[in-house]
């Protein structure tokens, strides 16, 4: 009949096969192809799972990067960054930042060092039942199977039906697996058209050359990719100042992406051997951690323009952005074909970013070299203009010495290319800060933003312009837009605090300045403005303490040492008087500051004397006249109203 007798015996081809591996609180389930903790699946990308599985299967053995890459991506070219990203995700899933499970052996590879316990499942051939037993019909003589080999065995009907069902089931599963695999590969790169990613952060490309003198190249390529992508109006691109705060850190790019609230992250590295740089880049989807694209470029420096264009085009394609013909042209726009001019320009930007007097002067030298190599290099003229603007605005050079040169360079850039947003923004800043041409400045700011909606500096400077004109609501909107693009910019956050300060919202301003100093205690501008806010609230001990810290940060140790004792001996007025004495022979660029110090201690006549000098010299910061609280004691005087009118701030 159909009844079966079960006899315990090892299957003919049985061998122990691991069904899963357990370690710590985790189990890696080989049947389901997943990582499990406390009965719950831990979500991993397929390649991340494969990396973990391979390391576990080779536990307590050093696995080189090359071996691991070959095991995970056997038929593809990928960079080391893809592997590093996989291991970052593995460690994040395991909570293994301390490397208790996976140990990194510098320059060699990785080793899974946690204790691993295989959970085995016996394999079996088709005569087995799957549990280490064999089935025989009741009443059959086991020896008789061999006594009558010529007689065909008769299988019970139930067993025939069961075998047929198993065969059909196996065939169905096989078909389903092949269909699913096919669909996976078909749809892997087929995100819906409306599933475009509209925000990205380009992390600073790592200088992997081992030569710090090549930082200018990796930084410059990063900045140029950012600038190219920023010209696309429907793509939000994190600004340079924000992403460069991660420079030199081994940050998890997916975590950074979540922190910055962007949809995609670009990472990479630059290696230069001789004159030939190699650029490796990887583009990742922040939402699920998948790699959207990766490439390696081995080119000559003279071909680096094409590399940057290709990277920008690939990014726009992989993010599913629909570009107009004009936008496609913007991505491939080159500002010079001269490799030496480009190299000098990158050096100029490198020094400009330091925001120091020495950095500005070295920047001028390199931008001039770029112009000498290519007189039609519009961006080099913009760099020249920005250096002179900083030298003027920070008080490093007199207005007469720096301002005309800034204007000439910005104007020349626009003569060459009037679609340069950076040139329009630089000219706008010059027009309002030096020429007091308020309508002209506003028109230039608006044009800059129209040309490059993602240019954070244009939004920031325009917001600053609106603030000094007393248009506070509009100012805050522009500042916030700049902050959205450049969320870690200390100067934007500081100037939002200045806006609150100029609105006489002193407590909010103090809180804002303190938040900046929590990010960077050595950011001098925030120290100075915090002191001014304390001063406005007549919190004089706090104000003097912050002024001392500010003076030390800007390199004026003598003033820092004098303010405390002067305040202790003669109070607040005595400390400010000591500061005025410290200025000695006042430079033209300090006229406004001297007027502010006299106004702070109620010396109206001296304040007006120095305001008059500041007007004649077009001294730095006089554009703050309408909004600065320190001048409130002068506003009722007719001379003040007349001065405002002459500046155009009535």
Domain identity same for 206 and 286: yes
Domain identity same for 255 and 367: no
Cβ neighbours for 255, distance < 8 A, ≥ 6 positions apart = 92
Cα 299 from chain centre:
25
Which of 307, 334, 361 is at the close of a domain? 334
Position 359 in a domain = yes
Domain identity same for 204 and 289: yes
CATH number at residue 52: 1.10.10.10
With CA atoms as reference, report the closest residue to 408 among 432, 426, 391: 426
Is 628 or 78 the better-scoring residue by pLDDT? 628
User: How would you write 55-104 as a 3-class SS string?
Assistant: HHHCCCCCEEHHHHHHHHCCCCCCCHHHHHHHHHHHHHHHCCCCCCCEEE
Residue 477: its pLDDT value, please? Answer: 94
Position 6 in a domain = no
Residue 78: its pLDDT value, please? Answer: 59
Question: Which tens digit of pLDDT belongs to each residue from 399-412?
Answer: 888 989 999 999 99
For residue 129, pLDDT beyond 60:
no
Residue 81: its pLDDT value, please? Answer: 62
Residue 125: its pLDDT value, please? Answer: 41
CATH number at residue 276: 3.40.50.11830
Query: How is residue 342 written in tokens?
Result: 């480009």
Task: Determine the structural domain holding residue 28 and report its residue range.
Answer: 16-121
pLDDT classification of 98: cutoffs 50, 70, 90: low
Report the C-alpha gap between 457 and 96 in whole angstroms.
40
Position 294 in a domain = yes
User: How would you write 565-612 as a 3-class SS string?
Assistant: HHHHHHHHHHHHHHHHHHHCCCCHHHHHHHHHHHHHCCCHHHHHHHHH
Domain identity same for 321 and 349: no
Residue 467: its pLDDT value, please? Answer: 97
With CA atoms as reference, report the closest residue to 266 among 248, 275, 279: 279
Out of 153-167, 408-422, 507-521, least confident range: 153-167
Domain identity same for 219 and 249: yes
Report the C-alpha gap between 209 and 270 in whole angstroms.
7
Domain identity same for 317 and 228: yes
Report the C-alpha gap between 97 and 438 in whole angstroms.
54
Position 476 in a domain = no
Domain identity same for 330 and 340: no
Contact, 495 vs 627, CB < 8 A? no
Average the pLDDT over 209-235 and give the result.
86
Q: How many residues does the chain have?
A: 650
pLDDT classification of 415: cutoffs 50, 70, 90: very high
Domain identity same for 259 and 386: no
Residue 588: its pLDDT value, please? Answer: 64
Most confident of 240-244, 315-319, 608-612: 608-612
| Share of residues in the chain with pLDDT > 90 (%) | 48
SS3 percent helix, strand, coil of the chain, rounded to 5, is: 60, 15, 30
Which of 121, 154, 184 is at the close of a domain? 121
Residue 140: its pLDDT value, please? Answer: 35
The total domain count for the chain is 3
Position 293 in a domain = yes
Position 83 in a domain = yes
Average the pLDDT over 528-549 and give the result.
97
Domain identity same for 205 and 275: yes
With CA atoms as reference, report the closest residue to 339 among 305, 381, 296: 305
pLDDT classification of 532: cutoffs 50, 70, 90: very high
Domain identity same for 345 and 404: yes
Domain identity same for 384 and 398: yes
Residue 138: its pLDDT value, please? Answer: 32
Residue 444: its pLDDT value, please? Answer: 97
Question: Which tens digit of pLDDT belongs to each residue from 581-590?
Answer: 988 765 666 8
Out of 55-59, 137-141, 262-266, 607-611, least confident range: 137-141
Position 566 in a domain = no
Question: Which tens digit of pLDDT belongs to each residue from 287-306?
Answer: 888 888 888 888 887 778 88
Average the pLDDT over 127-135 and give the result.
39
Average the pLDDT over 606-612 and give the result.
96
CA angle, residues 562, 398, 456, in degrees to nearest 5: 95
Q: Report the sign of the C-alpha dihedral through residues 433, 438, 444, 445, in that order.
A: positive
Position 500 in a domain = no
Helices and strands (H and E) in the chain: how many: 26, 16
Which of 266, 301, 334 is at the close of a domain? 334
For residue 600, pLDDT beyond 60:
yes
CATH number at residue 387: 1.25.40.10
Out of 163-177, 347-361, 403-417, least confident range: 163-177
| Share of residues in the chain with pLDDT > 70 (%) | 83
Question: Which tens digit of pLDDT belongs to each residue from 434-483?
Answer: 999 999 999 999 999 999 888 999 999 999 999 999 999 999 999 999 99
Domain identity same for 330 and 206: yes
Residue 635: its pLDDT value, please? Answer: 97
């Amino acid at each position: 009949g159909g009844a079966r007798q079960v006899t315990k015996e090892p299957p003919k081809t049985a061998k122990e096969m691991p069904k899963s591996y357990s370690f710590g609180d985790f189990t890696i389930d080989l049947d389901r192809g997943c990582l499990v903790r406390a009965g719950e699946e831990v979500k991993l990308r397929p390649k991340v799972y494969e990396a973990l599985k391979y390391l576990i299967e080779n536990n307590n053995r050093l696995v080189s990067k090359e071996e691991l890459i070959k095991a995970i991506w056997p038929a593809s070219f990928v960079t080391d960054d893809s592997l590093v990203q996989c291991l970052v995700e593995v460690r994040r899933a395991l909570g293994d930042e301390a490397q208790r499970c996976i140990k990194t052996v510098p320059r060699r590879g990785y080793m899974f060092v946690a204790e691993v316990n295989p959970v085995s499942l016996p394999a079996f051939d088709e005569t087995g039942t799957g549990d280490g037993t064999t089935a025989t019909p009741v009443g059959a003589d086991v020896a008789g199977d061999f006594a009558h080999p010529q007689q065909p065995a008769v299988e019970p009907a139930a067993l025939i039906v069961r075998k047929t069902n198993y065969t059909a089931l196996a065939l169905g599963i096989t078909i389903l697996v092949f269909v699913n695999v096919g669909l996976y590969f078909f749809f892997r790169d087929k995100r819906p058209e409306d599933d475009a990613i509209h925000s990205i952060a380009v992390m600073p490309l790592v200088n992997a050359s081992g030569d710090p003198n090549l930082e200018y190249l990796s930084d410059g390529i990063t900045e140029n990719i950012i600038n190219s992508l920023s010209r696309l109006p429907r793509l939000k691109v994190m600004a340079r100042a924000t992403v460069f705060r991660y420079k030199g850190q081994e940050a998890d790019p997916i975590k950074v992406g979540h922190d910055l609230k962007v949809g995609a992250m670009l990472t990479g590295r630059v290696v230069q051997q001789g004159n030939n740089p190699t650029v490796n880049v990887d583009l990742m989807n922040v939402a699920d951690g998948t790699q959207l694209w990766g490439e390696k470029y081995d080119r000559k420096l003279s071909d680096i323009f094409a590399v940057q264009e290709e990277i920008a085009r690939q990014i726009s394609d992989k993010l599913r952005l629909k570009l107009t013909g004009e936008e496609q042209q913007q991505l491939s726009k080159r500002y010079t074909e001269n490799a030496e001019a480009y190299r000098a320009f990158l050096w100029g930007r490198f020094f400009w970013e330091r925001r120091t007097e020495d950095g500005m002067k070295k920047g001028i030298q390199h931008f001039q070299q770029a112009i000498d190599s290519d007189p039609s290099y519009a961006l080099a003229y913009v760099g020249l203009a920005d250096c002179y603007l900083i030298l003027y605005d920070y008080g490093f050079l007199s207005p007469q010495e720096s301002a005309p040169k800034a204007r000439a360079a910005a104007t020349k850039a626009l003569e060459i290319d009037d679609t340069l947003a950076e040139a329009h923004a630089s000219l706008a800043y010059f027009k309002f800060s030096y020429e007091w041409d308020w309508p002209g400045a506003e028109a230039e700011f608006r044009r800059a933003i129209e040309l490059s909606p993602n240019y954070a500096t244009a939004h920031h400077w325009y917001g600053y312009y609106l603030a000094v004109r007393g248009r506070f609501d509009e100012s805050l909107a522009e500042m916030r837009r700049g902050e959205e693009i450049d969320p870690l910019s200390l100067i934007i956050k500081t100037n939002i605090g200045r806006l609150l300060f100029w609105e006489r919202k002193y407590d909010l301003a103090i809180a804002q300045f303190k938040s900046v100093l929590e990010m960077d205690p050595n950011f001098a501008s925030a120290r100075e403005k915090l002191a001014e806010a304390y001063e406005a609230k007549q919190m004089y001990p706090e104000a003097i303490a912050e002024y001392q810290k500010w003076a030390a940060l800007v390199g004026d140790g003598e003033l820092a040492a004098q303010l405390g004792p002067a305040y202790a001996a003669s109070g607040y007025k005595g400390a400010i008087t000591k500061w005025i004495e410290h200025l000695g022979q006042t430079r033209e660029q300090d006229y406004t500051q001297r007027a502010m110090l006299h106004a702070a201690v109620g010396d109206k006549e001296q304040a007006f004397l120095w305001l008059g000098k500041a007007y004649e010299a077009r001294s730095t910061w006089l554009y703050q006249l309408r909004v600065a609280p320190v001048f409130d004691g002068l506003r009722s005087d007719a001379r003040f109203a007349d001065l405002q009118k002459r500046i155009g701030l009535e």
